[in-house]
Amino acid sequence: MYDENENKDTGRMNPEEHKEEAVTTNFIMRDPDSEKPGPRDSERNIRPQTYHTYEEQQNIPHYQEYQYHRAAEQSMFQEEPKTKKKGGFVKKAAGLVGAALVFGVVAGSTMVGINWAAGAYGNNNNNLEISKAETIPSSANAEGVQAANTSNITTSNDVSTIVDRAMPSVVAITSKVIYESQTWFGPMQREGVGSGSGIVVGKNDDELLIVTNNHVVQGAEELKVTFIDQAAVDASIKGTDADSDLAVIAVPLKNISSDTLSKIAIASLGNSDSLKVGQGVVAIGNALGYGQSVTVGYVSALDRSVQTEDGTSRDLLQTDAAINPGNSGGALLNMRGEVVGINSAKYSSTEVEGMGYAIPISKAQNIIDTLMTRKTRTQVTDENQGYLGIQCKNIDGVTSQQLGMPQGVFIYKIVEGGAASKSDLREKDIITKFDGQGIKTYDDLTNMLKYYEGGTTVTLTVQSLENGQYVERNVDITLGKKPADAAQKG
List residues with catalytic annotation: 215, 245, 328
283: helix, strand or coil: strand
Cα angle: 145, vertex 362, 301; to 5 degrees: 120
**Cβ–Cβ < 8 Å for 82, 175:** no
Do 409 and 392 form a contact (C-beta atoms < 8 A)?
Answer: yes
481 Cβ contact list (under 8 Å, min separation 6)? 386, 387, 454, 455
Nearest-angstrom CA–CA distance, 348 and 323: 11
Q: What angle do CA 368, 369, 371 make, to 5 degrees?
A: 65
Question: In angstroms, what CA-CA distances link 53 with 310, 313, 364?
Answer: 8, 12, 26
Strands 280-285 and 293-308: antiparallel
The residue type of 359 is: I
- CB-CB neighbours of 58 under 10 Å: 8
- The answer to whether 216 and 246 have CB atoms below 8 angstroms apart is no
Look at the chain and count its residues: 490
- CA–CA distance from 343 to each of 21, 165, 318, 325, 433 (Å)? 20, 18, 10, 11, 25
Give the integer Cα–Cα distance in Å for 464 and 484: 31
Q: Report the distance separating Cα 54 and Cα 100, nearest Å.
A: 23
Q: Output 271-277 pairs: Cβ under 8 A, ≥24 positions apart.
A: 271/338, 271/340, 271/361, 271/362, 272/317, 272/340, 272/341, 272/360, 272/361, 272/362, 272/363, 273/360, 273/362, 275/299, 275/302, 275/317, 275/334, 275/340, 277/301, 277/302
CB 342 within 8 A of CB 303: no
* Amino acid in the structure at residue 43: E
